[in-house]
């Protein structure tokens, strides 16, 4: 009986040791990954209300999403400033995504975030959608780490400063010259993934001409400013659209993807003429600045058709919104 009980005791002890050892390995691993930690995210490229500058870098809300290396959501937080603190777990290989001025819901994984889209209508006065990310972030509870994330606007910016009336057409140059409106046409307006390397527009506004109901950022249709002959009018107008990756341009016909144009609509005497400026490439967070447009001849009868090169001259400067790696191009 003693021998039998002794053997049962040894078997029970062995079973307990085996279970405890296995359990200690798993518990240790889980415990390490679930150690509470705190990550501070500093967002570069923003202006806050505290700064008193309500410009196109203003932040109304900045949402930070921290994902574990397996793509599951580890922590999230939202702030109205450019520093956000997120409660998450300790670990390595974290991915940090930042979405500014675009509240999201039901984000539980990287795939659900990558499925989220943005449209031009998400933007408003002093409130532009911006995104940024950082990868391979290490979070250790004892360090209280900080990571810097650069964000850029999703929109593109197009501006025009002055327009010069240098008409030379006999019979027309002495007529009343009125800038009726300035607007963008062939405007990519939405359904773009927030985080993607390339975009295919599926929503367009002002297709080949101005359309009522277009986003306020795309048009000033009732300017009605006269410019005397050999005089210059100051406009300083700014417009916005989403990126346009269209490679091959077309004019007129049934609408299909084509290049974005800034159109100056001018009434000379009683006739309306259009002076479209085609933007060869429209990229996000890029400012296309036309300092001056000089008009020397009559324009096009259709806003989607270009005028001859001798009819208008202009200086176009392309530069990043964020002042780094300035790149100037004059056409």
Do 304 and 185 fall within a single domain?
yes
Parent domain of 83: 35-153
Q: What is the CATH classification number for the domain harbouring 234?
A: 2.60.40.3690
24 in a domain, yes or no?
Answer: no
Do 163 and 280 fall within a single domain?
yes
CA torsion sign, 41 to 42 to 46 to 50? positive
What is each CA distance from 121 to 1, 83, 172, 244, in whole angstroms?
84, 26, 41, 16
Indicate the residue among 153, 186, 220 that finishes a domain.
153
> What tens-digit pLDDT sequence spans the chain (331 residues)?
544 454 444 444 444 433 333 333 333 345 556 788 999 999 987 664 433 334 677 888 999 999 999 999 999 999 988 899 999 999 999 999 999 999 998 899 999 999 999 999 999 887 899 999 999 999 988 888 999 999 989 999 999 999 999 999 899 999 999 999 999 999 999 889 999 888 888 899 999 999 999 999 999 999 999 999 999 999 999 999 999 999 999 999 999 999 999 999 999 999 999 999 999 889 999 999 998 999 999 999 999 998 876 666 777 667 666 432 222 222 1
Do 185 and 225 fall within a single domain?
yes
CB-CB contact of 86 with 136 (8 Å): no
Assigned token pair, 31? 């415990």
Do 203 and 312 fall within a single domain?
yes
Indicate the residue among 126, 153, 180 that finishes a domain.
153
Would you state the pLDDT for residue 318? 72
Helices (H) and strands (E) in the chain, counts: 2, 21
Would you state the pLDDT for residue 158? 92
Do 309 and 170 fall within a single domain?
yes
136 in a domain, yes or no?
Answer: yes
Do 191 and 147 fall within a single domain?
no
26 in a domain, yes or no?
Answer: no
Strands 146-150 and 36-44: parallel
Q: What is the CATH classification number for the domain harbouring 47?
A: 2.60.40.2580
Radius of gyration of the chain (CA): 29
Assigned token pair, 27? 């518990």
253 in a domain, yes or no?
Answer: yes
27 in a domain, yes or no?
Answer: no
Do 149 and 164 fall within a single domain?
no
Indicate the residue among 105, 135, 153 that finishes a domain.
153
Do 275 and 163 fall within a single domain?
yes
CB-CB contact of 237 with 146 (8 Å): no
Do 65 and 147 fall within a single domain?
yes
Do 231 and 142 fall within a single domain?
no
Do 240 and 164 fall within a single domain?
yes
CB-CB contact of 99 with 114 (8 Å): no
- The Cα–Cα gap between 322 and 327 comes to 12
Beta strands in 174-260 (DSSP E): 177-185, 187-190, 192-193, 203-205, 219-220, 225-226, 231-241
326 in a domain, yes or no?
Answer: no
196 in a domain, yes or no?
Answer: yes
Q: How many folded domains does the chain comprise? A: 2
Do 164 and 145 fall within a single domain?
no
8 in a domain, yes or no?
Answer: no
- Give the pTM: 0.82
CB-CB contact of 61 with 131 (8 Å): no
């Amino acid at each position: 009986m003693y021998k039998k009980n002794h053997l049962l005791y040894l078997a029970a002890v062995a079973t307990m040791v085996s279970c405890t050892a296995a359990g200690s390995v798993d518990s240790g691993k889980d415990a390490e990954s679930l150690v509470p930690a705190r990550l501070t995210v500093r967002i570069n490229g923003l202006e806050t209300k505290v700064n008193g500058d309500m410009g196109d870098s203003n932040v109304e809300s900045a949402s930070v999403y921290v994902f574990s290396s397996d793509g599951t959501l580890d922590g999230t937080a939202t702030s109205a400033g450019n520093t956000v603190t997120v409660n998450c777990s300790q670990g390595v290989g974290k991915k940090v995504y930042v979405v500014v001025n675009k509240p999201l819901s039901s984000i539980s994984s990287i795939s659900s975030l990558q499925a989220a889209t943005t449209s031009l209508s998400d933007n408003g006065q002093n409130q532009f959608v911006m995104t940024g990310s950082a990868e391979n972030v290490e979070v250790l509870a004892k360090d209280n780490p900080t990571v810097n994330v650069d964000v850029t606007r999703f929109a593109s910016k197009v501006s025009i400063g002055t327009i010069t009336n240098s008409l030379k057409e006999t019979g027309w140059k002495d007529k009343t010259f009125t800038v009726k409106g300035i607007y963008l046409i062939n405007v990519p307006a939405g359904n773009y993934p927030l985080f993607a390397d390339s975009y295919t527009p599926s929503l367009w506004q002002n297709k080949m001409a101005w359309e009522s109901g277009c986003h306020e950022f795309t048009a000033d249709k009732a300017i009605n400013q006269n410019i005397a002959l050999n005089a210059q009018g100051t406009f300083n107008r700014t417009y916005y659209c989403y990126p346009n990756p269209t490679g091959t341009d077309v004019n007129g016909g049934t609408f299909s993807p084509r290049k974005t144009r800034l159109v100056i609509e001018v009434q000379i005497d009683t006739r309306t003429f259009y002076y479209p400026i085609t933007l060869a490439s429209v990229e996000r967070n890029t400012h296309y600045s036309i300092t001056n447009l000089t008009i020397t001849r009559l324009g096009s009868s259709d806003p989607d058709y270009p005028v001859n090169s001798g009819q208008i001259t202009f200086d176009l400067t392309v530069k990043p919104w964020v002042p780094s790696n300035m790149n100037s191009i004059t056409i």
